[in-house]
């Protein structure tokens, strides 16, 4: 096959100038705030994931010491020097791609042994390979001449610079959580309760692709597992706290939306909340393989409260997860910008979640916006699990906290209404949100006004739901104080009864604010 790749000279900069000019990422909200806009580069939502045909692939050239390097993301923040993600052209056979990958691997082994990257580290001879349905890619270290040679191969669709992804948090305060209340109310009511069906996401598995999960936390009741660690030299637990907080919002006994769902922690971010894009792709590869090996297609949700610069490769991998029967839920990001320029928020097949303040229904001042945002959920002062002990509690803000509300909601609705198709899950979530009449305040033109809701007081809008599954108003209630021993000792959550802030709501609130132990004062992740 003759390659017809077009290369567009967008700018000619020195490598140093490029790094200096790149905007610093502000991935907040997700903790890792994340992406936004949906781009046609992701592929058709129904077709799943496919590499762009060579005739459609465009690259920008960056100049380094008079060598022009073709990459698709020259403006990406936090690029990793001499590290690339190579995406193959799906029009070639699997055998042809395997042969080319073997050839590349041999060349890398030979040429990288004694070479050093721009940052002084030795170029690695290890190659990561990814296969998600028909999408094929690899991540590798390469010098300038090697990456030029790789890019020229007919089997290669495009080359992208690897980059760092991060999580972020904002200042917090000790308050009982309003997020669960808001999720089960058509309009916000102070002192309300969280009403939910007793099925509570049972039979669903939610993959938390993040900093890991403290699986021993009492909130998980044995339903959480530390599944895989992709951070070399780190412990098989959450050393940051972000992933555990996210998991608690998804499926914690007190703080969780889907209180009977299973949690699988996939560690792709380190103790500082950072990780490479290629490492995250490794995590997605694991999720797809695990879902396939355990026959969980149509019974799996994936939460990604992380983000960074735009990545066509990462967005395409999200499409691979979607096609594998996994519902991908991602954070919109915390930079108060259009999320089209961030990933995975800009992935076409993801449910991208912005953040609101549950007290006012106003868009959080940090939340990203734009057409890629599909729905909003509570993301200000969200109380969930901490990592200092097995009963630790922490309060955080960000789109990182909003996304797990929707990931838990997806698992909840999949059990309740018998939904297995990821696209239909997206439609039902948006349909329920639109049925409440509530809209986001302080919003940006062109951004959805929808606020996530579990529909507990509304009719079943899924015409294909199983008979008897929608139990209407025969719902159990969690009055913000299950696990009421948490309220004692802690700031404004102290005491119990009506002194418990927003989460307890009334005398049945038990332990009062979930922010016991004073953990809410931390402004770290």
Find out whether 75 and 10 touch, Cβ atoms under 8 Å. Answer: no
Q: Is 210 a catalytic residue?
A: yes
Residue 450 and residue 431: Cα distance in Å, rounded?
Answer: 9
Nearest Cα residue to 503 out of 486, 525, 524, 521: 486
Nearest Cα residue to 268 out of 317, 222, 312, 221: 317
> What is the 3-class SS of 81-136, one letter each residue?
EEEEEEEECCCCCHHHHHHHHHHHHHHHHHHCCCCECCCCCECCCCCEEEEECCEE
Selecting among 60, 143, 242, 290, the annotated active-site residue is 242
Selecting among 400, 426, 484, 492, the annotated active-site residue is 400
Q: For 85, how many CA atoms within 13 A lie in the half-sphere containing its CB?
A: 31
- The CA distances from residue 12 to 8, 69, 148, 217, 250, in Å, are 11, 10, 16, 52, 46
Nearest Cα residue to 181 out of 169, 189, 173, 170: 189
Q: Is 75 a catalytic residue?
A: no
Strands 205-210 and 262-267: parallel
Largest CA distance in the chain: 73
- The CA distances from residue 480 to 256, 402, 494, 514, in Å, are 11, 18, 13, 8
**Reduced to 3 states, what is the DSSP secondary structure of residue 267?**
strand
Cβ atoms within 10 Å of 435's Cβ, excluding its own: 16
Find out whether 304 and 267 touch, Cβ atoms under 8 Å. Answer: no
Find out whether 101 and 129 touch, Cβ atoms under 8 Å. Answer: yes
364: left (phi over 0), alpha (psi -120 to 50) or beta: beta
Cβ atoms within 10 Å of 516's Cβ, excluding its own: 28
- The CA distances from residue 481 to 12, 22, 43, 492, in Å, are 59, 46, 45, 14
Strand order in the sheet with 274-276: 128-132, 135-141, 79-88, 156-166, 274-276
**Gyration radius from the chain CA atoms:** 23
Q: For 117, how many CA atoms within 13 A lie in the half-sphere containing its CB?
A: 16
Helix (H) or strand (E) holding 476: strand 476-478
Selecting among 78, 210, 238, 357, the annotated active-site residue is 210
Q: Where in the sequence numbering do the catalytic residues fall?
A: 210, 242, 400
């Amino acid at each position: 096959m003759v390659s017809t790749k077009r290369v567009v000279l967008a700018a000619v900069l020195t490598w140093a100038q490029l790094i200096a000019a790149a905007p610093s990422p502000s991935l907040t909200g997700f903790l890792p705030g994340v992406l936004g806009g949906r781009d046609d580069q992701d592929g058709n939502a129904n077709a799943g994931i496919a590499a762009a045909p060579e005739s459609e692939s465009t690259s920008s050239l960056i100049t380094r010491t008079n060598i022009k390097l073709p990459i698709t993301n020259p403006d990406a923040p936090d690029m990793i020097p001499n590290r690339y993600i190579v995406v193959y052209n799906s029009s070639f056979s699997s055998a042809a791609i395997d042969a080319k990958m073997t050839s590349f691997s041999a060349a890398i082994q030979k040429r990288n042994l004694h070479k050093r990257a721009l940052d002084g580290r030795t170029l690695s001879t290890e190659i990561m390979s990814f296969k998600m349905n028909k999408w094929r890619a690899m991540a590798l270290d390469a010098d300038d001449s090697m990456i030029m040679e790789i890019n020229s191969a007919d089997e290669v669709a495009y080359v992208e610079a690897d980059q760092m992804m991060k999580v972020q948090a904002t200042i917090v305060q000790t308050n009982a959580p309003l997020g669960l209340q808001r999720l089960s109310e058509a309009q916000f009511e102070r002192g309300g309760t969280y009403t939910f069906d007793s099925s509570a996401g049972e039979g669903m598995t939610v993959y938390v692709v993040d900093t890991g999960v403290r699986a021993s936390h009492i909130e998980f009741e044995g339903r959480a597992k530390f599944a895989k660690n992709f951070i070399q030299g780190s412990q098989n637990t959450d050393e940051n706290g972000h992933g555990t907080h996210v998991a608690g919002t998804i499926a914690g006994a007190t703080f969780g939306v889907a209180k009977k769902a299973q949690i699988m922690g996939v560690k792709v971010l380190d103790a500082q909340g950072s990780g490479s894009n290629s490492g995250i792709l490794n995590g997605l590869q694991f999720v797809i393989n695990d879902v396939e090996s355990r026959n969980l297609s149509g019974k799996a949700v994936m939460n990604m409260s992380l983000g960074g610069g735009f990545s066509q490769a990462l967005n395409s991998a999200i499409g691979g997860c979607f096609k594998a029967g996994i519902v991908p839920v991602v954070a919109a990001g915390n930079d108060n910008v259009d999320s089209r320029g961030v990933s995975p928020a800009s992935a076409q097949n993801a449910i991208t979640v912005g953040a609101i303040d549950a007290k006012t229904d106003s868009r959080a001042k940090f939340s990203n916006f734009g057409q890629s945002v599909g729905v909003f959920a509570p993301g200000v002062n969200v109380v969930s699990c901490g990592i200092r002990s097995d009963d630790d509690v922490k309060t955080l803000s960000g789109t990182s906290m909003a996304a797990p509300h929707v990931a838990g909601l997806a698992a909840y609705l999949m059990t309740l209404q018998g939904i297995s198709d990821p696209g239909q899950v997206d439609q039902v979530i948006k349909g329920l949100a639109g049925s409440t009449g509530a809209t986001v305040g302080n919003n940006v033109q062109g951004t959805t006004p929808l606020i996530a809701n579990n529909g507990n007081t509304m009719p079943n809008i899924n015409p294909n739901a199983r008979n008897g599954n929608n139990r209407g108003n025969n719902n159990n209630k969690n009055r913000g104080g299950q696990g009421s021993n948490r309220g004692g000792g802690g700031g404004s959550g102290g005491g119990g009864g009506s002194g418990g802030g927003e989460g307890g709501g009334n005398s049945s609130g038990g332990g009062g604010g979930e922010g016991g132990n004073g953990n809410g004062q931390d402004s770290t992740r």
